[in-house]
Amino acid sequence: MRPHEFEPGAASDAVIAIEGLTKTYKSGFQALKSVDLTIRRGEIFALLGPNGAGKTTLISVVCGIVNPTSGRVRVNGHDILTDYRAARAQIGLVPQELTTDAFETVWNTVSFSRGLFGKSSNPAHIERVLKDLSLWEKRDNRMMTLSGGMKRRVLIAKALSHEPQVLFLDEPTAGVDVELRQDMWRLVRALRDTGVTIILTTHYIEEAEEMADRVGVISKGEIILVEDKAELMRKLGRKQLTLQLQAALPAVPASLGAYDLQLAAEGTELTYTYDTKAERTGITSLLRDLSEAGIRFRDLRTRQSSLEEIFVGLLKEQA
């Protein structure tokens, strides 16, 4: 068991506890519908959902940028409304939008953030953060002279300037180059190793798949699923068994019509899709029926479906 995996339900492990949170915007639009969610200390949690699902709204409420309509949110036990100072002091937020003070230098804007969060100045820490984000050479540059990717780095540096215990990354890799993406994941893992809890939103499934310990799926303002990533893949995953045939088949034989089979690679590959959740996978009987039909194969492999496929399947169920 890796150190960041915990027994579910152990209350002291909850770093963020969201109960019955709803948000109705002034327009009357209900962006969050009674959301319950617990984030565990030290985990990387990926909040996955299509555009407009309510990811940014959820984060904004927790961080104090949007007023909740009802419900309760606590950060390390501190209520975000009645005990907002203690709650917010622990949180670093990297917003979705690239909003920066154009005329400020990198060093000043990052130092400003630290002061704003009530931490006394610590140039050594700021220096470390800037170096970790490859911003050290740019420290005296004004924000407006930086590229989009560099600005994103600065926003991360600002969020880390006050040594938060919880870091929110709202679509951190949207429109970001490969290099930054890799740097970012390296940093996120390093932060997690120091005990920082990380919540990221994305609609790139690979990101959640690569990075997260747990995944939550939000759709139309509702959390429709929260699961350990590995568990999710195991439980919901559909697997594919691909057989490489010795001789090409013109079509799937009628005698095998009961199975979900597809022919590919000019008839030399037969793919069987099955559900790992099912009581029986049907593999045994398929192999028997294949041999009865006189179909022989040279090799076989299995492939687990990606989160993306799981995700699309889930959203279809919702619709």
Partner 1 sequence: MNWLAVRSIYLFEMNRWRRTIVQSIVSPVISTSLYFVVFGAAIGSAISAIDGVAYGAYIVPGLLMLSLLTQSISNASFGIYFPRFSGTIYEILSAPVSPFEIVLGYVGAAATKSILLGLIILATAALFVPIRIDHPFVMVLFLVLTAATFSLFGFVIGLWADGFEKLQLVPLLIVTPLTFLGGSFYSIGMLPPFWRTVSLFNPVVYLVSGFRWSFFGRADVSVGLSLGMTFLFLALCLAAVTAMFRTGYRLKA
Ligand X SMILES: Nc1ncnc2c1ncn2[C@@H]1O[C@H](COP(=O)(O)OP(=O)(O)O)[C@@H](O)[C@H]1O
Q: Is 229 in the site for partner 1 (CB under 8 A)?
A: no
Q: Is 67 in the site for partner 1 (CB under 8 A)?
A: yes
Report in angstroms the alpha-carbon separations of 181 from 99, 173, 198.
19, 6, 16
For partner 1, what does the binding mask look like between residues 11 and 50, x meaning CB under 8 A?
Answer: --------------xx------------------------
Quick one: which of 103, 131, 260, 300 contacts partner 1 (CB under 8 A)? 103
Gap between the Cα atoms of 283 and 280, Å rounded? 8
By CB under 6 A, the residues from 18 to 57 that bind ligand X are 25, 27, 29, 31, 49, 51-57
Least Å distance between CB 43 and partner 1? 21
**Closer to ligand X at the Cβ: 57 or 100?**
57
Per partner kind, with CB cut-offs from 5 to 8 A, the member of ligand X, Mg ion, partner 1, none near residue 49 is ligand X
Q: Is 203 strand, coil or helix? A: coil
Q: Are strands 166-170 and 91-94 parallel, antiparallel or unpaired?
A: parallel
**Closer to partner 1 at the Cβ: 63 or 245?**
63
Residue number with the smallest Cβ distance to Mg ion:
56
By CB under 5 A, the residues from 31 to 70 that bind Mg ion are 55-56
Radius of gyration of the chain (CA): 24
Measure the CA angle with vertex 110, ends 105 and 113; round to 5°: 130
For residue 276, with 0-12 CB atoms within 10 Å meaning exposed, 13-18 middle and 19 or more buried, which class applies? middle
Q: Is 230 in the site for partner 1 (CB under 8 A)?
A: no
Residue 243 structure tokens: 């057989």
Per partner kind, with CB cut-offs from 5 to 8 A, the member of Mg ion, partner 1, ligand X, none near residue 54 is ligand X
CA 117 to chain centre: 26
